[in-house]
Amino acid sequence: MRHIGRCLLPVRRSFSQYTNAARAVKEDPRWPGWGVVIGIEVHAQIKSRRKLFSSANTSDLTEHPNTRFVPYDAAFPGTLPNLNPRCVELGIRTALALECQVQPRSTFDRKHYFYPDLPSGYQITQHYAPLATDGSLQLSQGDAKVRIKQIQLEQDTGKTMFDPRRRVSSIDLNRAGTGLMEIVSEPDLRSPEEAGDYVRTLQALLRSVGSSDGNMEQGSFRCDVNVSVNRPDAPAGTRCEIKNLNSVKFMMVAITCEVFRQIELLEKGLSVPQETRGFDEAKAETFSLRSKEDAPDYRYMPDPNLPPLLLDQTYIRDIRKSMPELPPETRSRLLAQGLSERDADVLMAIDMGREVGYDGSLGHGAVAYFDTVARGRDSKIVVNWITHELLGQLTSRKETFKENKLSAEQLGEIIDLVQGKKITGTSGRSLLRHVLAHNSSESPTKLAEQMSLLVSESDSTSLRTWCKQIIAEMPEESQAIRNGHLNVVNKMVGRVMKLSKGRADAKAVRTTLETLLATK
């Protein structure tokens, strides 16, 4: 719990690396004559297989309570911490993605407080020397860059659940000792919307480097927000910290409520006391949790079990080399490949939903899928097949992209068959539906053969035969066309298509029908 507002004090740095150290106050119609200053402290769970200092596996919310811990996590006497290098690696990936300075030497320190879900009575964090400092994050809207003060590794706590009916607290240690990255921004945000943008951009970034799944609802990504208001050109106001916000939406609402509350106090001539506040989602208001005076004394000390973490440049360089592509890079690459902004955004939005693998393995999302299919093919055609046909089918099947059973190879083959005019577009779509419905791993070429979808030499003769048959079956409609009611043609085209099981080309059917009916 680092107090971000402290950095509001005038120039602590002797040099200013960034130009937005004092971003101008933007006039906001919601609160004319007031400026808003926001800093955010994020606790993101590291997506590692094992915990930060123990051999126990990390858990998600599906595990039974107290099934994922070893004696160390329960603070059994005589146990000792053992730093998980995967956590360090993922911390460094995050630091590099946020353009931070990775520190060659950082330390592990103890922060003490008594709580039943903190078994050792202290949390190991990096109080005196954090893993990385001085980074920045470019917001997606506008050109604002938010400075990142520091990133530190620390342990998550267990969970306390209170059953008010039985008046019993239960402790679950599954989460105890899981690695967290505490990512602290400078107070560079100026509106609730910017704060929302910051959090979403950060989530996407962590997911893209595989360091966290960034899930706010499930608690693997938690935000504490520092808010203050001030008159333009006046020094920053007193901040309040809002804790325990479970979604970006509620965070933005909470900030807005807090801004109004602080303005109201100041306009009445009162002062804003520095305190920690909670947020009541139902009432849409913040409420006091504790004042500055009640803040516990954490009695920090260097952890005598853990030597300083020394990172040499080669190690950091190797991690930098193996860094996955970051969202802004992905976006510009997709645009350069000829995708429209809309298509790129659709792909990347779906990509956000991909499973983040453990220990930095990246998992395959929509972008990777697109990349595989687009290799050697026309990007625009490929993206159309993905966004229109595949996603459309998945949506109607009420499936997400994660559940997609059509492999990139299969889709590539379908596209090749259609582009090579071996099958019609309609046949291509029905092949795609077939694979999804039957979870088939068969090659589309073979499936097309089995389903007699391949366009053959004789198909042009077949076309005439099919058309003739339908004319014979639909004498009334045929007569109507002959009488000049051309809108009836569509109905007959549909029947021919059905008869041909989609092998016929709709345009060709229409021409053939018109020819046959006109020459009569």
Rule CB under 8 A: which residues touch other proteins? 71, 74-83, 110, 112, 114-116, 119-122, 160, 169, 171, 297, 299-302, 304-307
Instruction: Give one word for 303, left, alpha or beta, with left for phi > 0 and alpha for psi -120 to 50.
Output: beta
Element (DSSP H or E) covering residue 508: helix 506-519
> Residue by residue, what is the 3-state secondary structure of 129-184?
CCCEEEEEEECCCCCCEEEEEEEEEEECCCEEEEECCCCEEEEECCCCCCEEEEEE
Contact 66, 260 (CB under 8 A): no
CB of 3 to other proteins, least distance (A): 13
Distance CA 195, CA 260 (A): 16
Nearer to other proteins, 78 or 484 (CB): 78
3-state secondary structure of 507: helix
CB of 124 to other proteins, least distance (A): 11
CB of 116 to other proteins, least distance (A): 5
H helical segments located in 357-443: 366-374, 379-384, 391-396, 408-419, 425-438
**Size of the chain, expressed as the number of residues it contains:** 520
Nearer to other proteins, 110 or 495 (CB): 110
H helical segments located in 189-247: 192-209
Alpha carbons within 13 angstroms on the beta-carbon side of residue 407 total 9
Nearer to other proteins, 16 or 55 (CB): 55
Distances (CA, A) of 516 to 107, 488, 496, 509: 85, 14, 13, 10
CB of 279 to other proteins, least distance (A): 24
CB of 380 to other proteins, least distance (A): 55
Nearer to other proteins, 171 or 339 (CB): 171
Selection from 39, 30, 38, 35 nearest residue 233 by Cα? 35
Nearer to other proteins, 80 or 518 (CB): 80
Burial class (CB in 10 A: 0-12, 13-18, 19+), 214: buried
CB of 289 to other proteins, least distance (A): 16
Could you tell me whether strands 309-310 and 240-245 are parallel, antiparallel, or unpaired per DSSP bridges?
unpaired
Nearer to other proteins, 79 or 246 (CB): 79
Selection from 113, 120, 117, 46 nearest residue 81 by Cα? 120
Nearer to other proteins, 298 or 315 (CB): 298
CB of 68 to other proteins, least distance (A): 15
CB of 170 to other proteins, least distance (A): 10
Nearer to other proteins, 120 or 500 (CB): 120
Nearer to other proteins, 66 or 445 (CB): 66
CB of 294 to other proteins, least distance (A): 14
CB of 167 to other proteins, least distance (A): 9
Produce one character per residue of 243-262: b if its CB has 16 or more CB atoms within 10 Å, e if not.
bebbebebbbbbbbbbbbbb
Distance CA 246, CA 215 (A): 9
Nearer to other proteins, 306 or 323 (CB): 306
